[in-house]
């Protein structure tokens, strides 16, 4: 269920249907700065629900952290969870819910073992990008493989997603743009996946113009206060629609390649995707020129070069990273075997992917 509009969390009347004890899962700051935490605490207190806060979630949440969160939920006796934040806390909350109901599960067994359903989750995004509030995925950082890994299941769909654009106002321009590019990546990548359907295409066709327009307006802003309420709303709702796209289609090599920059260089996820999205469309254009033309039209650009110009137009999010050739070769090798590469209408080769990496990140590019 999606509940949207300003004040939607404060006005929610049926939260006690989920139980009497709640664990709030979040990071250190965004829930407080955005105002969500205060609203959530007031709602829980008003309805007589006991709660505790687990605020240890870091950016790109570690498997060990969510394992500890699951233990905290069990010890508190939580009936349900509220996840507050960007993609990291929301993805983490899903995994916390799994570990809470599966006390004998070792951390890495979350990806492979049969399990009981996770605790019910209510999701409140404070960014407009990941779409985690409407997807069945939890993306976790696993140091043992030096990469991210996902767990999925219908039980991981949040029971309620609260979409209040006011909660995104605390995002600075750089985060607003980066998360917006992530959302655009979801909608665009999903359009070229083998699992794309009439439904996912319809969602993408609605999301992409909202996101492209929102990115143009965010790029022109000098500070967060310059970003209008209308732009915040477009980006948040576009992000949710794009999340619905990938919940049906999965993502392509933009994501798996971007994970390399995030894991090894701490580049925010959407920022990392920005390096590769235009080249992804250019590559898929060979397999489906009509779909590529439609993407360009929806973004109001003429070609992949203009799409890259749009994605790189924000001074607060420069695309200026340069890496040595041996690192790029390593990242191409690490990426090429992922399921994301195989998901697309055409599968990029390691040599073709390395050419993309060299074009965008090569020291002599």
The class that CATH gives domain 172-361 is: mainly alpha
**pLDDT at residue 118, rounded to an integer:** 97
Domains 2-166 and 172-361 share a fold: no
pTM greater than 0.85:
yes
Mean pLDDT along residues 65-71:
97
Token readout for 347 is 């599968």
The answer, yes or no, to whether residue 365 has pLDDT greater than 60, is: no
Please write the tens of the pLDDT for every residue from 84-137.
Answer: 999 899 999 999 999 999 999 999 999 998 999 999 999 999 999 889 999 999
The class that CATH gives domain 2-166 is: alpha beta
The answer, yes or no, to whether residue 363 has pLDDT greater than 90, is: no
**Three-state SS string across the chain, please?**
CEEECCCCCCCCCCHHHHCCEEEEECCCCHHHHHCHHHHHHHHHHHCCCEEEEECCCCCCCEHHHHHHHHHHHHHHCCCEEEEEECHHHHHHHHHHHHHHHCCCCCHHHHHCCCCCCCCCEEEEECCCCCCHHHCCEEEEEEHHHCEEEEEECHHHCCCEEEECHHHHCCCCHHHHHHHHHHHHHHHHHHHCECCCCHHHHHHHHHHHHHHHHHHHHHHCCCCHHHCCHHHHHHHHHHHHHHHHHHHHHCCCHHHHHHHHHHHHHCCCHHHHHHCCHHHHHHHHHHHCHHHHHHHHHHHCCCCHHHHHHHHCCCCCCCCCCCECHHHHHHHHHHHHCCHHHHHECCCCCHHHHHHHHHHHHECCC
> What is the domain partition of the chain in residue ranges?
2-166, 172-361
**pLDDT at residue 356, rounded to an integer:** 96
Mean pLDDT along residues 199-214:
98
Please write the tens of the pLDDT for every residue from 228-286.
Answer: 999 999 999 999 999 999 999 999 999 999 999 998 999 999 999 999 999 999 999 99
């Amino acid at each position: 269920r999606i509940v949207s509009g300003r004040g939607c969390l404060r006005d929610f009347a049926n939260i006690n249907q989920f139980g009497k004890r709640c664990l709030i899962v979040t990071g250190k700051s965004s829930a407080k700065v955005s105002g969500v935490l205060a609203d959530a605490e007031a709602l829980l207190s008003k309805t007589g629900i006991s709660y505790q806060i687990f605020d240890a979630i870091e950016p790109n949440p570690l498997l060990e952290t969510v394992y500890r969160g699951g233990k905290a939920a069990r010890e508190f006796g939580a009936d349900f969870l509220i996840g507050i934040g960007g993609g990291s806390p929301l993805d983490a909350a899903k995994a916390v819910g799994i570990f809470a109901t599966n006390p004998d599960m070792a951390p890495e067994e979350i990806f492979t073992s049969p399990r009981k359903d996770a605790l019910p989750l209510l999701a409140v995004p404070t960014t407009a990008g990941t779409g985690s509030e409407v997807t069945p995925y939890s993306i976790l950082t696993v140091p043992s493989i030096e990469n991210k890994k996902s767990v999925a299941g219908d039980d991981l769909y949040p029971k309620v997603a609260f979409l209040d654009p006011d909660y995104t106002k605390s995002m600075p321009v750089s985060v607003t743009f980066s998360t917006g590019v992530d959302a655009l990546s979801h909608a665009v990548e999903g359009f070229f996946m083998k699992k794309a359907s009439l439904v996912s295409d319809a969602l993408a066709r609605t999301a992409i113009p909202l996101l492209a327009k929102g990115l143009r307006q965010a790029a022109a802003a000098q500070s967060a206060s310059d970003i209008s309420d209308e732009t915040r709303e477009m980006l948040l709702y576009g992000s949710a629609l794009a999340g619905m796209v990938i919940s049906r289609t999965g993502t392509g090599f933009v994501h798996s390649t971007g994970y390399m920059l995030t894991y090894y260089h701490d580049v925010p996820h959407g920022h990392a995707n920005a390096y590769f999205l235009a080249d992804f469309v250019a590559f898929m254009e060979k397999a489906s020129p009509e779909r590529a033309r439609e993407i360009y039209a929806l973004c109001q650009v003429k070609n992949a070069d203009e799409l890259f110009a749009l994605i790189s137009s924000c001074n607060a999010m420069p695309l200026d990273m340069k890496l040595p050739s041996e690192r790029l070769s390593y990242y191409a090798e690490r990426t090429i075997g992922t399921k994301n590469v195989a998901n697309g209408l055409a599968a990029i080769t390691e040599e073709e992917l390395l050419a993309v990496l060299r074009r965008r990140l090569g020291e002599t590019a």
